[in-house]
Homo-oligomer: A and B are copies of this chain.
Amino acid sequence: MLQELFTPSVQHSLDLAGIFVFAISGALLAVRKNFDVFGIAVLAEVTALGGGLFRDLVIGIVPAAFTDLGYFLMPLVAAALIFFLHPQVERIQSGVNVFDAAGLGLFCVTGTTKAYEYGLSLTSSAVLGLATAVGGGVLRDVLANEVPSLLRWDRDLYAVPAIVGATMVVLCIRFDVLNAFTSGTAVITAFLLRLAAMRFNWRAPRAWNRRSSAAEEA
């Protein structure tokens, strides 16, 4: 069932990179919510590992977060950085958003690939890849007692880049052309789409009558 689509070290490095940047976003939210140092560490861990943990529970394996020490230590490094340096990091908020977009691109690709490796169908793999990419952020917002950014209409498009990235991966698998190059292309496409959504404030529509003054659209 397990077909190595990547060399393990490539997938591992991509995963660690995604974990790091998501941990940064969790730690920053914890600082803004005035949490203490353990709150910062916990929110960094949950944000970084939550999506992958859900993915691994679904496919029925012991979550990588509990088998690979690096997965656990990386968010602590991010939390320590934010603990000491967060004024500097907040000043480069746009930089943080760039890293977060990179994490989204990385996780939708590695999540989809891993789900397929463990026997899910192509569609289910893409769905689980999407859940991997957005799950940590949703958990982060729930623990911080906020409505998840993913759901709010007044945030820029977040799901669409991940959907596009996951779809590209399953198309590559379907046509048997998944390799380091095509995967990288999927990562970069999702990454750039997210950057563009933030740059141009792309938003998703709300339900019909909520945009009532613009009723001519209907």
Contact = CB atoms under 8 A, between A and B. Distances in A.
Contacts of A214: none
A87 B38 CA distance: 33
Nearest to A37: B204
A206 B159 contact: no
A66 B120 contact: yes
A86 B69 CA distance: 44
A35 B67 contact: no
A193 interface: no
A40 B159 CA distance: 12
Given A151-B35, A207-B83, A63 B69 contact: no
Given A36-B205, A151-B143, A58 B69 contact: no
Please indicate which of the listed interface residues A42, A59, A120, A158 has the most CB atoms of chain B within 10 Å of its own CB.
Answer: A42
A120 B62 contact: yes
B58 A153 contact: no
A84 B208 contact: yes
Contact size range, A: 35 or more
B42 A151 contact: yes
Given A69-B123, A72-B127, A147-B33, A83 B208 contact: yes
B210 A31 contact: yes
A144 to B, nearest CB: 7
Contacts of A104: none
14 contacts: A34-B206, A35-B153, A35-B206, A37-B204, A39-B151, A59-B62, A66-B115, A66-B127, A66-B128, A69-B123, A82-B207, A87-B208, A87-B209, A145-B146
Interface of A: 30-31, 33-40, 42-43, 53, 57-63, 66-67, 69, 72, 82-87, 115, 119-121, 123-124, 127-128, 138, 142-148, 150-153, 158-160, 203-210
